Structure 1
Amino acid sequence: MFDRTIENTIKDKINGGKAILVVGARQVGKTTLINEILKDKDYLFLDADDPATRNLLQSPTTEQIRTFLGDYKYIFLDEAQRIPGIGLTLKLITDQFKNVQLFVSGSSSFDLGNELNEPLTGRKWEYELFPISWEEYENKIGLIKSEQQIENRLLYGLYPEVINNQGKERETLKNLVNSYLYRDILAFSDIRKPEVLEKLLQALALQMGSEVNYNEIAQLIGINKITVQKYIDILEKGYIVFRLNSFSRNIRNEIKQNRKIYFYDNGIRNMIIGNFSQLDLRVDKGALWENFLVSERRKQNLYKDTFSKMYFWRTKQQQEIDFVEENNGQITGFEFKWNKKKTRFPKNFMETYNAEGHVIDRNNFREFVKI
């Protein structure tokens, strides 16, 4: 059991009159987290994977809800996205049963969000949960052991089940990819061509950390640009990938429209391309390092409500900065290097934006991924 960063934040919201919603990819630990929060309480657990539960919660009346809630003050509905129209049922519970604290977990935000956002407007606290963060990992196993594991984490990622099955990482990741990545996403979206999704994921995995051109990907896969955009949007809402847009304010030749796409987890990415070669043998070592750092920074910014905005920066003359962060008007540029190297930041960027510049390498990365 890993102590999760958002656990105390959620505990502070208990009995505050709103539903508590935890969303994220499958197998990141949502059920474990909520069960841990409720471990000292008498609560009703409702598993939406169970057909009987789905029937029970699909358009019940107030009296039917009163009957199955009984005297429970805490209710935990797991995998809520599996129940059609669940948002209205949860609205009914929240409005009519003021002494009940509702906990809800969901795996697929592209479905759950549409179901819940309108019915539960103003009635929920929503939190995203990601694979284990480096901070959570280090807090659990200690500084020395975690440092020894850095290369394994770059290869196999930080899903709880992967970490807990040392020696069986590839098998575990294969099950994760096959069951969640393809089956769930195909089930909860209107993607009609699974083979196109697979080709798109492989193309994104091979371009990880590089600028992605939707027209080029469309030509490569043999579909149109609109379909590429739609599928990438679904992958974002399904917590598989996220994008960084280019930072552009004042400099005339800055790239304004491009984006980079990263994976939330290195292990998922490596499984998609079927490559678990050791770091020293890989041509994509720099991309793996960059993906790890950017995804960890994203976890921290979201968990800790830093309100930082994340970008990359490049000009048409190929001047570039790997990662740019804006916080309270302060612009900071970061360059990512596996080995320590002296790096010069573009003068026009630093002066125009009065920016700070930092190089993040193998020796100092902890301060970057533990805000």
Structure 2
Amino acid sequence: MIMIIKFRRKIEDRIKKYLFKGDAIVIYGARQVGKTTLVNKILAEYGDDGKYYNCELKENRDLLQTTNSQDLGRLVSKYKIVVLDEAQKITDIGTILKILVDTFPKVQIIATGSSSFDLANKINEPMTGRTKTFSLYPLAIEELIENYDFAQINGNLENILRFGLYPKVFDRNAEESIMELSELTNKYLYRDILSFNQIRKSTLVEDLLKLVALQVGSEVSYEELSVKLGVDRLTVIKYLDILEQMFVIFSLRAFSRNIRDEVSKSIKIYFWDVGIRNAILGLYNNLSVRDDVGKLWENFCIVERMKYNANNFILGNVYFWRTYDQKEIDYIEEINGEINGYEFKWGDNTKIRGKGKFEETYGGKAMIINRKNYLDFLIKKMVEKK
């Protein structure tokens, strides 16, 4: 087991580049991914010139829930940098942020939120053009590589696939990891989801998450989910959207350029952390006795690649690809005009159904990602060797 106490997060340097340039910094991310640790690390560089407010505490909310600039000034004006952690808890936070930025331009405001659905809705209109936003995810393989060599990462791969990469989970033994994941899902995940006014049925959320967790790597049908859950299709879509905005899941849509035999309207759903996925299902078994290793591997590789792209500000579109005659590729990237495909294989299978058709149609490469080359894929731009 790799033992890690502190991690340097990749987005830290990018955030620092935008400090004191007139905009509020907004950091989104799920509970317990390290937002508070990150902002306190930044604050520590400013000593007494930095101030931290935990907005989950009622006494702090009571102080900050005002549009009186003099009252706000007493809270922030004597500092260079001020953090509002879990800022979505503050009523009318958008207006308050605007007053802070406009009235105290020399004070750098950093706001964090565990729900982009909640916080973004509150700040978008009043703060249009006045924010720089960043997303923090569970630990990325790229962040581990800075401290540990490939052999150590490989040696810990099974634990990563079982327990995921949340900071408080990664450096624990199996029993402690399971306890932490149980705490994350029961205390934070479900509680936060149910705090939304749009979410009225707790059992429906749990059942939906379990169904989606079982279908990782497969195409998801809204109609099928609605039948199994006994609710209408629009309710399923609304709940899935909230889960995406809370950084629990994300979706890939089918890639198509209107070739007649390409699937174009399906989606696949993955989890931002495979440990959370396993916790929802209560499955922590060793990989040798599991029948879902291929699903875990696919989810892990896709989410780690997406973290890498996000952390390094690599912009593009991501999809999966399938034809009606069952040619398919797990993951498609469209970046800088190039379209490349990646198929994830836990075992020794080296065949991609549809490799020739995909490469001929789109001019890019279709590549196998397995346990021999996955670290190259997850920490740098993968280029197939000719």
Q: Give yes or no for TM over 0.5.
A: yes
Paired residues of 1:111 and 1:189 also in contact (CA < 8 A): no
Aligned pair partner of 1:256 in 242, 261, 264 = 264
User: Is 1:12 matched up with 2:17?
Assistant: yes
Aligned pair partner of 1:323 in 327, 331, 342 = 331
Distance 1:237 1:89 in 2: 22
State the secondary structure of the residue aligned to 1:141: coil
Aligned pair partner of 1:304 in 306, 312, 315 = 312
User: Is 1:96 matched up with 2:103?
Assistant: yes
Aligned to 1:366: 375
Aligned pair partner of 1:111 in 118, 124, 127 = 118
Pick closer, same or farther for the CA change 1:344–1:69 going to 2, 3 Å. Answer: closer
Alignment of 1:193-208 (within 5 A): 193-208=201-216
Q: How many residues align?
A: 371
339-348 or 45-54: bigger deviation: 339-348
State the secondary structure of the residue aligned to 2:112: strand
Aligned to 1:272: 280
Shift, 1:157, TM fit: 0.1
74-83 or 338-347: bigger deviation: 338-347
Shift, 1:355, TM fit: 2.0
Paired amino acid for 2:233: K
Distance 2:352 2:110 in 1: 49
Shift, 1:186, TM fit: 0.8
State the secondary structure of the residue aligned to 1:16: coil
31-40 or 88-97: bigger deviation: 31-40
Paired amino acid for 1:55: D
Shift, 1:238, TM fit: 0.4
User: Is 1:213 matched up with 2:217?
Assistant: no
Shift, 1:345, TM fit: 4.6
Paired residues of 2:66 and 2:72 also in contact (CA < 8 A): no
Distance 1:360 1:189 in 2: 42
Aligned to 2:173: 166
Paired amino acid for 1:222: G
Paired residues of 1:189 and 1:234 also in contact (CA < 8 A): no
State the secondary structure of the residue aligned to 1:196: helix
345-354 or 190-199: bigger deviation: 345-354
139-148 or 105-114: bigger deviation: 139-148
Shift, 1:305, TM fit: 1.7
User: Is 1:188 matched up with 2:193?
Assistant: no
Pick closer, same or farther for the CA change 1:291–1:189 going to 2, 3 Å. Answer: farther
63-72 or 87-96: bigger deviation: 63-72
Aligned pair partner of 1:357 in 361, 366, 369 = 366
Distance 1:71 1:350 in 2: 60
Shift, 1:189, TM fit: 4.4
Distance 1:103 1:9 in 2: 14
Aligned to 1:86: 93
Pick closer, same or farther for the CA change 1:339–1:19 going to 2, 3 Å. Answer: same
Aligned to 1:21: 26
67-76 or 1-10: bigger deviation: 67-76
Structure 1, residues 149-192: CA drift from partner, whole Å, max 9, x if none? 01100010000010133340111000000122100111134200
User: Is 1:153 matched up with 2:166?
Assistant: no
Paired residues of 2:77 and 2:104 also in contact (CA < 8 A): no
Distance 2:290 2:221 in 1: 24
User: Is 1:47 matched up with 2:41?
Assistant: no
Paired amino acid for 1:363: K
Paired residues of 1:246 and 1:255 also in contact (CA < 8 A): yes
Paired amino acid for 1:13: Y
State the secondary structure of the residue aligned to 2:146: helix
Aligned to 1:131: 138
Distance 2:85 2:341 in 1: 40
In structure 1, runs of 5+ residues without a counterpart are: none
Distance 2:151 2:290 in 1: 25
Distance 1:188 1:228 in 2: 15
Paired amino acid for 1:164: D
Aligned to 1:293: 301
In structure 2, runs of 5+ residues without a counterpart are: 1-5, 381-386
% identity of equivalent residues: 44
State the secondary structure of the residue aligned to 2:203: helix
Shift, 1:60, TM fit: 3.1
Aligned to 2:240: 232
User: Is 1:143 matched up with 2:150?
Assistant: yes
- Structure 1 ranges of 4+ moved more than 4 A: none
Aligned pair partner of 1:244 in 228, 234, 252 = 252
Paired amino acid for 2:74: T
Shift, 1:204, TM fit: 0.1
Structure 1, residues 276-308: CA drift from partner, whole Å, max 9, x if none? 111111111000000000111111121212112
166-175 or 194-203: bigger deviation: 166-175
Paired amino acid for 1:26: R
Paired amino acid for 2:286: Q
Paired residues of 1:4 and 1:136 also in contact (CA < 8 A): yes
Paired amino acid for 1:361: N
Distance 1:188 1:2 in 2: 32
User: Is 1:339 matched up with 2:347?
Assistant: yes
* RMSD, aligned CA: 1.2
